[in-house]
């Protein structure tokens, strides 16, 4: 399995655990223990982006046809940038969204998180698209 796929999948597993922690925190909040329901969209995206989408990215890079055994520098930059931007974006979101009501720099951080994740997705789709060919 390529190193970048391992990184995607292992990080995805961490997000799965983190999402379950968020789920417990939300349940405690619903029981009146002070956790903000503003955490709910973060929980959903830890699962949908951090776990499922990241797992798909890792497996798709590894298993889809057309992968070269020794990728060039350009391809490595694209893949590792995807990994970094997706995870930095998601962590910034998880941090800033529940704190948005405090103002300050948090709105800018939340917007930056969205831009990071969007660029990551575009980079990965740009990489995978030419590999999808019928045979």
**Long-range contacts made by residues 28-31, C-beta under 8 angstroms, separation at least 24?**
none
Residue closer to another protein, measured from CB, 24 or 107: 107
Q: Which region among 7-15, 18-26, 69-77, 114-122 touches another protein (by CB under 8 A)?
A: 114-122
Q: Shortest distance, CB of residue 86 to another protein, whole angstroms? A: 10
Place of tokens 């890792």: 58
Among 10, 24, 64, 77, binds another protein (CB under 8 A): 64
For residue 3, the number of C-alpha atoms closer than 13 Å in the C-beta half-sphere is 5
Using the rule CB under 8 A, give the single segment among 2-10, 12-20, 26-34, 101-109 that binds another protein.
101-109
Asked if 121 is part of the footprint of another protein (rule: CB under 8 A), the reply reads yes
Taking Cα atoms as reference points, which of 128, 107, 127, 110 lies closest to residue 45? 110
3-class state of residue 29 by DSSP? helix
Structural tokens at position 121: 């997705």
Give the x-and-dash track for 17-56 against another protein (CB under 8 A): -------------------------------x---xx--x
Q: CA dist 119 to 24, 32, 48, 134, Å?
A: 31, 38, 17, 27
**Chain contacts with another protein (rule: CB under 8 A):** 48, 52-53, 56, 64-65, 93, 97, 100, 106-108, 110-111, 113-115, 117-118, 121-122, 125, 128-129, 132-135
């Amino acid at each position: 399995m390529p190193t970048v796929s391992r990184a995607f999948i292992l990080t995805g597993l961490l997000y799965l655990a983190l999402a379950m922690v968020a789920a417990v925190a939300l349940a405690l909040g619903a029981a009146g223990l002070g956790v903000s329901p503003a955490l709910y969209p973060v929980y959903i995206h830890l699962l949908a982006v951090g776990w499922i989408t990241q797992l798909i990215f890792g497996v798709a890079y590894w298993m889809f046809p057309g992968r070269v055994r020794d990728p060039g520098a350009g391809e490595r930059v694209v893949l590792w940038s995807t990994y970094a931007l997706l995870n930095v974006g998601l962590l910034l979101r998880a941090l800033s969204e529940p704190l948005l009501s405090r103002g300050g720099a948090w709105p800018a951080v939340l917007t930056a998180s969205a831009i990071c994740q969007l660029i990551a997705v575009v980079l990965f789709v740009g990489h995978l698209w030419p590999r999808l060919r019928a045979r």
